[in-house]
Amino acid sequence: MAPEKEKRTIYLDESGDLGFSFPASSEYLTLACIIVPSPTALKKAIRRLKISLGYPRTAEFKAAEDRWQVRQRLLSLVPDLGIEVRSISVYKPNCYQTFRDNTNSLYNFTAAALLVRYLCSCSSASLVVDRREVKIGSLPYQFDEYLKFRVFDEEDAKLSLTIRHQDSFVSPGVQLADCVANAMWRRIERKDRTGHAVISTQIRSDRRLFEPK
C-alpha cells in the first residue's frame, strides 16, 4: 500500500538576482523552499533566537545583511526542527532569450521546476511566498495561477493547494527560507560552503538549470 499523502507547509524565497548585466549581476539565481513540520514550533524558536541575540521582537532576519554568526544560528533551526530543504539554481548566462526579455517568466518557470513534482506528492499544501508581483509577460497569469496550472496539468495531481503572499518581516518561515536560499546560492556563486554545511543533512533536492557543460 502506498504511503498516505500528508499536508505540508512550505515557504519559498530566492537569492541572487534576476538581472543579466554581467558581471554586475549574479551568475546564478537560486530558489529554495523549506518544508516545515510545525510552523508554530518555528515561530517559537525564532522568537527565542531573537531574545538570545538581544533583538527586538519586530526585528527581521535578512541573510544579505546579517553577519555569519547570526545566519549560522538561524540555519541551525533547520536540522533542529526537522525541516526539509529543496532548491534549484539557474545559471543565467545560458538562459533562453525569452527569459532575458521577461525575467518574471524566468522566476515562475524556475519556481514550477522546483515545486511541481513535490507538490504532486502531497494531498494538501500551504505555500507561503515572499510578497512580490510575478507575471508572465502580457499573459493574464500571475504566479499563483501559473503554478496551479502547472500542478493540475499533471494527470495524477490530487492536491488541495493554498498560496499566500506575505511580507517577510511578518513571516518567520519566509525569513528562514531567505537564509536557506542564501546559503545554497553562496555555495554555488561564491564557493562558500559554510551555510550549506549547517543544513546539508536536510537537503532533499538541489537541482541546476542551464548549467554549463
Domain of 64: which CATH number?
A: 3.30.420.10
Q: Around Cβ 207, how many Cβ atoms within 10 Å?
A: 14
Q: What is the pLDDT of residue 139?
A: 46
pLDDT at 173: 98
Domain assignment present for 1: no
Residue 2 lies inside a defined structural domain of this protein: no
Dihedral of CA atoms 192, 202, 114, 32 in degrees, nearest 10, equals -50
Q: How far is CA 61 from CA 7, 131, 161, 165, 169, in A?
A: 27, 16, 27, 18, 8
Residue 182 lies in a domain: yes
Report yes or no on 164 lying in a domain.
yes
Distance, CA of 99 to CA of 187 (rounded, Å):
24
pLDDT along the chain (213 residues), means of 10: 64 96 97 97 97 96 97 98 98 96 92 94 93 52 86 78 93 98 98 98 98 84
The helix/strand/coil state of 56 is: coil
The number of domains in the chain is 1
The cell for 38 is 510545525
pLDDT of residue 138: 45
Q: Structural domain of residue 105, as residue ranges?
A: 7-209
Residue 128 domain-assigned (yes or no): yes
Report the sign of the C-alpha dihedral through residues 177, 42, 120, 130, in that order: negative
Burial class (CB in 10 A: 0-12, 13-18, 19+), 107: buried
- In angstroms, how far is CA 14 from the centroid of its own chain? 5
- All 3 cell numbers of residue 165? 503572499
Q: Are 60 and 170 in contact (CB under 8 A)?
A: no
